[in-house]
Amino acid sequence: MTTNPKRIKIKGIKRIKRIKTLTNNEKSVYHVNKKIEELLRKQYFIELENHIFYTLCTCWFQSKNLVGFAHFFKLQAEEEYYHSKKIIDYILERKIKLKAIGCSIKSTLGDLKDPKEFINMSYKREKNNSRNFVKIMKLATVNNDFHLQNFLGWFIDEQLEEERLFENVLKKFELLKNNKDIKDIKNIKNNSYINLYEIDKDLGKRKK
């Protein structure tokens, strides 16, 4: 019985196409979108920048003998470093190349000069961080990257806690009447409903 050469050729082409389709499907499951890669790399450096910022805050408050604030920011700096470590571990796990990007790590505290300004700036940083993670989550959802969605869920929950943390401290300052520059702490009236040293004492109780 003679085999039809044309039929064999057609079957071979179909088989090759089927193999290529499987390969493409596998790539869609494990491959990380280029835009997501870029945002993850950027977020890694942002977490490091926050770590340095909170460390500088710690030093500033320590120099003013506000040990409660110093303790509070020291723990926050440790949190940010832990966040950066989680992200870099994930970057390595997904085999994403860690390229150098134009993220400048600020080495100064700028014009910050009193405790409330430090807390307010920190609150803004955490809100920006929350927006960053939500943006990455949206891209992960569009690209059906379920592994990344699971990873980001922890950060989104964490950011909610971080925002509430600084928001609660800001509420304490709302109760502080006649809030003065750090140089004029001793001039705060004794009849203030709550004073700066009471906030300092409260922040010193932070556990994590």
Domain with residue 198: its CATH number is 1.20.1260.10
Q: Does a structural domain hold residue 27? A: no
Q: Does a structural domain hold residue 124? A: yes
Q: Residue 163: name the closest of 202, 127, 207, 116 by CA.
A: 127
pLDDT given at position 176:
73
Q: Does a structural domain hold residue 175? A: yes
Q: Does a structural domain hold residue 25? A: no
- The residue range of the domain holding 190 is 34-203
The tokens for 59 are: 């030093």
Report, as an integer, the average pLDDT of 35-50: 93
Q: How confident is the model at residue 23 (pLDDT cuts 50, 70, 90)?
A: very low
Number of domains in the chain: 1
Residue 189 in this model has a pLDDT that exceeds 50: no
Q: Does a structural domain hold residue 101? A: yes
Q: Does a structural domain hold residue 158? A: yes
Tens-place pLDDT, residues 112-145: 888 999 999 999 999 999 999 999 999 999 999 9
Is 0.85 topped by the overall pTM? Answer: no
Q: Does a structural domain hold residue 11? A: no
Q: Does a structural domain hold residue 160? A: yes
